[in-house]
């Protein structure tokens, strides 16, 4: 089976797909043949660029907006998704959901505020859980759910304690959903990136020395790329991963070994 045919006929929804890891995932799933629904929160131009990149590679995609920290986030999300699916000539059924969207930046313990805490849990935990709940009647049996976590859920990271807590909650959600949805053949897995060169992390690589320090954390001696993570997600979204569920896949190039 060629890469373009691997996900032919399937619909993939990728949250936070306008930039960074999410864009890399959207592009890869598009190359594998899926119709890709590119979710974004605020940057419509960046989302349009993701759609253009998918289409340039011969894939199909559309963008839709929903701010995941709003009380009505799930309603807005699926209303916008359904408009996009109809515009693409597709039904409401979904085969792949990648919960990639995330908020960061909580800071250390003495820097925490209830407002930031609530926002991070709303985007990183509440939204993924209720997006899955709402999708149960539209998910085809044999579908795939991939939650994008972080290595900070398994390592002490006091620099952003609330962010770490949200990723730990996401990991636990993966376990519960994998068992809950297993009878339908729906697999649920976590991919946990290490340090990846994205716009969100740009503040950490302001000098060559800073980049070298980050690269040294990996056993492979470099900083990760969105494509490194996208390829792992694409594997989990494919039939090749049909016997893998409830798992935490560390995608950090051997960080911390």
Check if 40 is active-site. Answer: no
Domain, as residue range, for 45: 3-197+227-247
Tens digit of each residue's pLDDT (9 = 90 or more) over 115-147? 999 999 999 999 999 999 999 999 999 999 999
Under 8 Å CB-to-CB from 196, ≥6 apart: which residues?
A: 20, 21, 223, 224, 225, 226, 228, 229
d(CA 50, CA 185): 30
Distance CA(112)–CA(97), nearest Å, equals 31
| Predicted confidence (pLDDT) at residue 1 exceeds the cutoff of 80 | no
State the Cα–Cα distance between residues 145 and 73, nearest whole angstrom: 19
pLDDT at 114 over 80: yes
pTM (two decimals): 0.94
pLDDT at 190: 98
pLDDT per residue over 17-73, tens digit each? Answer: 999 999 999 999 999 999 999 999 999 999 999 999 999 999 999 999 999 999 999
Q: Is residue 34 part of a domain?
A: yes
In a domain, 210, yes or no: no
pLDDT score at 207:
76
At 11, is the secondary structure helix, strand, or coil?
strand
Residue 133 lies in a domain: yes
Domain tally, the chain: 1
Q: Which token pair is 63?
A: 């963008």
Residue 159: CATH number of its domain: 3.40.50.720
DSSP 222-240: S-B-HHHHHHHHHHHHSGG
At residue 209, the pLDDT reads: 83
Q: Is residue 215 part of a domain?
A: no
Q: 91-110: b or e for each residue (b if 16 or more CB lie within 10 Å)?
A: eeebbbbbbbbbbbebeeee
In a domain, 52, yes or no: yes
Question: Is there a domain that residue 221 lies in?
Answer: no
- Most distant CA atoms of the chain, gap in Å: 53
pLDDT at 183: 98
Cα gap 213→169, rounded to integer Å: 29
Which of 40, 78, 163, 195 is catalytic? The answer is: 163
Q: Is the dihedral of CA 85, 77, 134, 141 positive or negative?
A: positive
CA distance to 8, 97, 105, per residue, from 33 (Å): 4, 15, 35
Asked whether residue 205 is assigned to any structural domain, the reply reads no
H/E stretch holding 44 reads helix 44-56
- Each residue of 204-243: pLDDT tens digit? 555 788 888 888 889 999 999 999 999 999 999 999 999 9
218: closest CA among 193, 250, 254? 254
pLDDT one-digit tens code per residue, 168-209: 999 999 999 999 999 999 999 999 999 998 766 555 555 788
């Amino acid at each position: 089976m060629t890469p373009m045919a691997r996900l032919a006929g399937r619909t993939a929804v990728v949250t936070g797909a306008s930039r960074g890891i999410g864009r890399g995932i959207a592009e890869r799933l598009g190359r594998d043949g899926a119709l890709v629904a590119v979710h974004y929160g605020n940057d419509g131009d960046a989302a349009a660029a993701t759609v253009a990149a998918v289409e340039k590679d011969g894939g199909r995609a559309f963008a839709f907006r929903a701010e995941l920290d709003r009380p009505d986030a799930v309603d807005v999300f699926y209303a916008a998704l359904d408009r996009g699916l109809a515009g693409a000539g597709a039904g409401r059924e979904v085969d792949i959901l990648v919960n990639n969207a995330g908020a960061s930046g909580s800071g250390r313990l003495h820097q925490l505020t209830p407002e930031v805490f609530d926002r991070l849990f709303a985007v990183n935990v509440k939204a993924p859980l209720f997006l899955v709940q709402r999708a149960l009647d539209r998910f085809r049996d044999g579908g795939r759910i991939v939650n994008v976590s972080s290595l900070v859920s398994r390592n002490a990271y006091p620099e952003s304690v609330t962010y770490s807590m949200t990723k730990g909650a996401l990991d636990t959600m993966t376990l519960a959903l994998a068992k809950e949805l297993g009878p339908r053949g729906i697999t649920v897995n976590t991919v946990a990136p290490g340090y990846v060169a994205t716009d969100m992390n740009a503040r950490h690589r302001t000098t060559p020395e800073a980049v070298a320090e980050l690269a040294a954390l990996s056993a492979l001696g470099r900083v990760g790329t969105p494509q490194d993570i996208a390829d792992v997600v694409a594997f989990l979204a494919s039939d090749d991963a049909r016997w893998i569920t409830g798992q935490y896949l560390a995608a950090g190039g051997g960080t911390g070994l």
